[in-house]
Amino acid sequence: MCGIVGYTGRQDAAPLLLEGLRKLEYRGYDSAGIAVENDGRLRMVKASGHIDRLEEKTHGGADLPGCCGIGHTRWATHGAPTDVNAHPHMSNDGKFAIVHNGIIENYSALREELRGKGFVFQSETDTEVIVHLLDMYYQGDLKEAVMRTAARLEGSYALGVVCADVPGTLCAIKMASPLILGVGIGENYFASDVTALVSHTKNVIYLEDGEFAELTPESITVYDVAGRPVSHSISRIVWDVEAAEKGGYDHFMLKEIMEQPRAMKAAIEPRIRSGRIVLDDFDDAFKVCFDDVHRIVITACGSAYHAGCVGRTMIEALCRTPVEVDVASELRYRDPIIDDHTLLIAVSQSGETADTIAAIREGKNRGAKVLAIVNVVGSTIAKLSDYVLYTWAGPEIAVATTKGYTTQIAVLSLLAVWMADRRGLLTPERYSELTGGILDLPERTQRAIDLNPQVAYLAERYRDNTSLFFIGRNLDYAVCLEASLKLKEISYIHSEAYAADELKHGTIALIDEGRLVVALACCEALFDKTMSNIKEVKARGAKVLAVTHEGGRRVFAEADDVLFVPVTDPLLAAIPEIVPLQLFAYYVARANGCDIDKPRNLAKSVTVE
Ligand code: F6R
């Protein structure tokens, strides 16, 4: 939630800040603002709405000359998305401006204290207390003021500060929110995410929690929580600028759907060598840990939770170890049964989801070892976990995840086979069948993408539905959960995912003439059962769009329309099966004129609980 960026160098800061904010807009897009220091004076402009409005209001940044500044794009938590509540926030005397990503939990008490000392608040935000604290603690030493301020804050923050008294200098400090420093030549940056930096520099420093950095055009100095200088190695971003651009597609979401075969290859191929799964990311310690595991708990939010549901079926089927999947925000509050024989698998694209982080902490406190399946390198979840498997999907910019989700399933499938093999549960024939099937997933995904024109046609035909159902059994049901979420979040059309047989325990009352039911029938063993459920809704007037594999031609007898996805091993069917439904959501949303990459009320990474 929220993106921050800062620049100090020799170029005009404002256009660079606006460019950086555009790259971070996926993190929040209800309002934005920038503040620039020029000759020891700060100027600030804020605007509600998308970055375009800020760009117009500042004439592309030309209204704010100066080579040092900070910017923010917001997803409102405390206070409506108005100009006043937008960041930056300035001190009463105009000496400090700050941008903040995170939540200050003790802001009410701080606000009362500061009001009592005469500070005047302009906004309803939690953030504004920070700038008044800075003002209160500043006695000519910016570093000291920032550190004393940070010591008063409870909650999470990635904070950028500019001060009129110290021209050309930025301060940045973080606690449980992402913050990355970009190392340039004669210029330096900070940002919430490398996407805002990569067109300027590929050299970055990942700050640790509690660390504080002072940036000038020529230097970056990092201090630990006690104010002692610490040295940091510089990491190199491995992907190119184009990976974070639309590359000719109308939307990032469509581009990312199309990128799935490539992303899948990156996740899978390096991990299968000479027919054997090699999880290089692990050391022998994981093998020892896994041999002591009696139970697995998968935790995640949203689509990552849906990937976890697919993972449960795969692991239980192959590894015969009990697996529980729980939404992270629920897991931590229900006194979960987790002990030192539990493996907690946390799944997250961003690696910054607050509830997933909290669930990991809960699991660790109870003795579990934590394995993270994460896309963003150096993210909080990656750092917090005992073992990490990266999904290598590359940057995912569209708010609705696509390649993030499918690569999570690809990695879970590798893990399921690895675990089953470690437990000695697979014959050599089954092992090579499964690894062969996993290696074929990029090609199967491409063939599913080739359904694009047919899906676009069907989306046009069904775009006017106001409420619909996705039904399926077993793995098909897990895929229904994701298909339904995709449609809801970008097209705003109500839909529900139902275990196909469960429908008749009440919800079938909603099936009426012309109601669209999307029936997923790729589970071969349950195909005839799903056919019966299709007949039940047809008998009540529903229109049925079926998704099945090439062997399921008899679905024609019942369905109004059919999408045939490529055949895979039944345990691996989720990936090709979701692809046409991602496209379906995309084309329905597009036909209905929705803002696909920035759906209303959403943000890409949910860093608040
Ligand atoms: C939906 C979507 C969200 C995320 C969820 C978890 O398209 O993207 O449901 O899956 O917010 O995010 P991560 O995977 O970053 O932890």
Mean pLDDT to the nearest integer, 549-561: 86
Ligand 1 centroid to residue 226 C-alpha, Å: 35
Considering the domain boundaries, does residue 374 fall inside one?
Answer: yes
Considering the domain boundaries, does residue 407 fall inside one?
Answer: yes
Indicate whether 480 and 527 sit together in one domain.
Answer: yes
List the domain range (segments joined by +) for residue 535.
450-591
Ligand 1 centroid to residue 301 C-alpha, Å: 6
Tokens, residue 293 = 């595991």
pLDDT of 262 higher than 70 = yes
CA distances from residue 194 to 204, 315, 397 in whole angstroms, order as listed: 8, 34, 12
Considering the domain boundaries, does residue 246 fall inside one?
Answer: no
Residue 556: per-residue pLDDT: 80
- For residue 353 and ligand 1, the question of a CB distance below 6 A is answered with yes
Domain end position, chosen among 208, 240, 272: 240
- 381: confidence class by pLDDT, cuts 50, 70, 90: very high
Indicate whether 224 and 275 sit together in one domain.
Answer: no
Indicate whether 304 and 211 sit together in one domain.
Answer: no
pLDDT of 608 higher than 90 = no
Atom 5 in ligand 1: residue holding the nearest Cα: 302
Indicate whether 390 and 504 sit together in one domain.
Answer: no
Residue 242: per-residue pLDDT: 77
Nearest ligand 1 atom, CA 486: 7
Is 604 an active-site residue? yes
Is 598 an active-site residue? no
CA distances from residue 169 to 44, 100, 258 in whole angstroms, order as listed: 16, 17, 42
Amino acid (1-letter code) at residue 150: A
Indicate whether 101 and 181 sit together in one domain.
Answer: yes
Indicate whether 559 and 507 sit together in one domain.
Answer: yes
Domain end position, chosen among 415, 439, 463: 439
- The gap between the terminal CA atoms of the chain, to the nearest Å, is 11
Tokens, residue 176 = 């449980």
Nearest ligand 1 atom, CA 604: 8
Considering the domain boundaries, does residue 119 fall inside one?
Answer: yes
By most ligand atoms within 8 Å of CB, the mutation choice from 1, 353, 490, 600 for ligand 1 is 353
Residue 602: per-residue pLDDT: 86
- For residue 179 and ligand 1, the question of a CB distance below 6 A is answered with no
Q: What is the pTM of this model?
A: 0.89
Residue 281: per-residue pLDDT: 66
Domain containing residue 114: CATH number: 3.60.20.10
B/e letters for 287-313, b = 16+ CB within 10 Å, e = fewer, are eebbeebebbbbbbbbbbbbbbbbbbb
Ligand 1 centroid to residue 351 C-alpha, Å: 10
Domain end position, chosen among 387, 407, 439: 439
- Of the candidates 403, 486, 598, 604, the residue annotated as catalytic is 604
How does pLDDT run across 530-546, given as a tens digit for each residue? 999 999 999 999 999 99
Whole-angstrom distance, CA of residue 530 vs CA of residue 537: 11
Indicate whether 381 and 433 sit together in one domain.
Answer: yes
Ligand 1 centroid to residue 486 C-alpha, Å: 11
Ligand 1 centroid to residue 304 C-alpha, Å: 6
Nearest ligand 1 atom, CA 356: 16
How does pLDDT run across 327-376, given as a tens digit for each residue? 999 998 889 999 999 999 999 999 999 999 999 999 999 999 999 999 99
- 120: confidence class by pLDDT, cuts 50, 70, 90: very high
Considering the domain boundaries, does residue 143 fall inside one?
Answer: yes
- For residue 303 and ligand 1, the question of a CB distance below 6 A is answered with yes
Number of CB atoms found within 10 A of residue 337's CB: 10
Indicate whether 527 and 567 sit together in one domain.
Answer: yes
- For residue 350 and ligand 1, the question of a CB distance below 6 A is answered with yes
Indicate whether 585 and 481 sit together in one domain.
Answer: yes
How does pLDDT run across 193-248, given as a tens digit for each residue? 999 999 999 999 999 999 999 999 999 999 999 999 999 999 998 877 777 788 88
Quote the strand ranges of 256-322, DSSP E: 272-273, 276-277, 295-300
- For residue 356 and ligand 1, the question of a CB distance below 6 A is answered with yes
Mean pLDDT to the nearest integer, 598-606: 84
Compute the mean pLDDT over every residue in the chain, rounded to the nearest whole number. Answer: 94
Indicate whether 211 and 297 sit together in one domain.
Answer: no
Tokens, residue 282 = 């692990």
pLDDT of 37 higher than 90 = yes
Domain count, the chain: 3
